[in-house]
Chain A
Amino acid sequence: MATVLLPLAFGQAGSALAQSVSPVFQDNASEAERKAGNSQANAELFYMIQQLQGEIRRLQGRVEEQRNLIDRLTKQSRDRYIDLDQRILKLSEKVAEAPAAGAGTGDPSGQAGESGVKTKIYRQPSEEERSAYQKIQSLIHQEKNYDQAINGLYDFIDKYEEGDLTVNAYYWLGEVYLVENQLEQARQAFTIVATRYGDHRKASDAVYKLGVTLDRQGNKDQARARMETVVRDYPNTSAAELAKKYLESNNG
């Protein structure tokens, strides 16, 4: 009974006071009991709400922290990707240089020297040029802002002539146009790399993509011819492998 009275005195002091003033009869007592039950339920409800509020606070905090963590992780993985991309780019430049150096020493096993086109070393980019190029790369890969990337590529080609990355820029111009399904522009860009810079390390990819573009334009014969060029002139490249696959699947 004490447990019943406590919340009564606590929660409903007014009615408790009235209770003590008026004489206690049978039905009044049952009324009091009902009220006591009510106020105990109220107290329990109050306690429960408090508990729920505390729980919601904790959960709210956790949701906010996790959202923040996800945001940070997303950003981190993007940064890491850019970093990795940069390192791969540097590495592939080194790889491209190495066979050329090997051929220079007269090593007869030098693969590039055996058949096809020799890879020439182009003017290496300055720091500024490299960072401008990186900016465009991130427009293409991360932001997928192709229109701005196309503008950027044209500016880049205008500004930095005949460098290693200039050829890359032409190549990417083709790639972006291909994504945008502007096939004629893509064809022109790949053609520039294929014909003007046939000795650049991107040339094999460019000729292959030129084939792909021609294929998409419906010009199957021309496409086949390009693929054969890749296999003949740029053996041992990944582009040659892809070209072989194309030729096999388009044989029949």
Chain B
Amino acid sequence: MGNQMTNRRRTGTTRPGKVTIWLLMLAVMIGSSTASAELLIRITEGADSAIPVAVVPFAETGEMPAGDQISSIVRDDLTMSGEFRPLAPEKMLSLPSKGEEVYFRDWRLLGQRYVLVGQLTRMGDKIEARYELFDVNREERLLGATASSSVNNTRSLAHHISDKVYEAITGVPGAFSTKLAYVTLQRSGGESMYRLQVSDVDGKRARVRLESDEPILSPAWSPDGEKLAYVSFETGKPAIYIHELSSGNRTRVADFPGLNSAPAFSPDGRSLLLTLSKDGNAEIYKMDIQSRSLKRLTNHWSIDTEPAWDHTGEGFFFTSDRSGGPQIYHKSSEEAEPRRITFGSRYNARPRPDNDGKYVYYVHQRDKAFHIARTNLQTEEETILTRTESDESPSVSPNGRMLIYATKQDGNSVLTVIAVDGGAAYSLPASEGDVREPAWSPIVR
């Protein structure tokens, strides 16, 4: 209590706040987290059908932290989604910061459909944002809300506002506050360094969670967004770990003879699907995380691997070569007969379903090139989504609107994000080395 009092009294002076101390501790724990390779965003394509929206620079009261302005982060988020075309602030005729100051005819003149205005106020070690969103044509307020964050966390505040704006306009929750997990590989001399990192969806605030000179593969998020499961070769052979992000605690959960690969959390977070070859060849097992008991879910002398739960949490998708080449199969329950999903070509692998059971995304080979494709599970219609040629590891955003995958660009592995309905794309090349194995976190409320 006394500590809090002094904190309050000393507000405004430079001091290590609680968050910074926590950050420092974390940095000490992880050791070399300063070496984090930040992803650089590069927008490669915009959509023609994007909605024009004006995000007016927010009015500021009190001392603001250094770094990007909240309104410009919101603008970048909306651009990234591919569904919006924010107006450059220098083209704005006026800079209102609250509803009464918005003259709709000005914005109509500029061809804008929506206007976002807001004010930021410094309150101790917090920043409070009041923001309002207007529909220009209907001259109607769609949104009016207040949100706040600590001074050090204004990027989260900005992403939160982007989420709300996105949802108010499209009706679909925004996914800007979610995280990406991915693995970077840096080679220098004969040495390779693998780093498991977690960043914001725009590639910012990347932090190294694990460093190893042996491969790290297949990161998978727990449904609460607090843990990652992955495969690490740090002991010289593959083993599956569960890594608690806040504490940095790691548990080795699977270390069987042979293959230990492709972990996937169940929607209730209680079990993992894994591929193990302990009984001879690669089969899919379910592990109860608490008791570590295993249940074998596939039984075939061909390779069954890359499991992913479907949205019901009852069934799962997986890859099997039981018909010659790899194809995607679905079991509607643990006991059901597997049903083949993909027929478009001889190679379809690494299934990743969306959250509402509409589509399954996967790697699809056509004419020697590997693309990301999706199949509509109702109509069985297959669509190829990418034009690049060595695409791998698809992961769908939790709102089902965007897709991230790894591909090659100028000889390096980069991550590319696209809008699933076409149009927008941006890539996240690591400032050095390769980046691959992306995994999009769930939306955490």
Contact = CB atoms under 8 A, between A and B. Distances in A.
Interface of A: 53, 57-58, 60-61, 64-65, 68, 71-72
Interface string B297-340: 00001100000000000000000011110010000000000001
Given A53-B301, A57-B302, A68 B340 contact: yes
A65 B340 CA distance: 9
A57 B322 contact: yes
B324 A64 contact: no
Given A57-B302, A57-B323, 14 more contacts: A53-B301, A53-B302, A57-B321, A57-B322, A58-B323, A58-B324, A60-B322, A60-B323, A61-B323, A64-B327, A64-B343, A68-B340, A68-B343, A68-B380
Scoring A64, A68, A71, A72 by chain B CB atoms within 10 A of each residue's CB, the highest score goes to: A64
Scoring B301, B302, B327, B343 by chain A CB atoms within 10 A of each residue's CB, the highest score goes to: B343
A235 to B, nearest CB: 48
Nearest to A49: B301
Given A57-B322, A58-B324, A61-B324, A72 B380 contact: yes
A219 to B, nearest CB: 49
A66 B321 CA distance: 17
Nearest to B325: A61
Chain B, interface residues (CB within 8 Å), range: 10 to 19
A39 to B, nearest CB: 21
B385 to A, nearest CB: 22
Contacts of A60: 322-324
Kindly list the 9 A-B residue pairs having the minimum CB-CB distance in the complex, ordered from nearest: A61-B323, A64-B340, A57-B324, A60-B323, A61-B324, A68-B343, A60-B322, A64-B323, A57-B323
B348 to A, nearest CB: 12
A118 to B, nearest CB: 47
A57 B327 CA distance: 12
Contacts of A61: 323-324
A57 B343 CA distance: 15
Contacts of A65: 343
Contacts of B340: 64, 68
Contacts of A64: 323, 327, 340, 343
Contacts of A58: 323-324
A83 B387 CA distance: 35
A246 to B, nearest CB: 46
Contacts of A72: 380
Contacts of B322: 57, 60
Contacts of B321: 57
Contacts of B343: 64-65, 68
A184 B323 CA distance: 57
5 contacts: A57-B321, A57-B322, A58-B324, A65-B343, A68-B343
A66 B141 CA distance: 56
A61 to B, nearest CB: 3
A183 B112 CA distance: 63
Nearest to B340: A64
A58 B302 CA distance: 12
A73 to B, nearest CB: 13
B329 to A, nearest CB: 9
Contacts of A57: 302, 321-324
A222 B324 CA distance: 69
A8 B301 CA distance: 26
B327 to A, nearest CB: 8
B344 to A, nearest CB: 11
Contacts of B301: 53
Contacts of B323: 57-58, 60-61, 64
Contacts of A68: 340, 343, 380
B280 to A, nearest CB: 13
Nearest to A69: B343
A124 B323 CA distance: 54
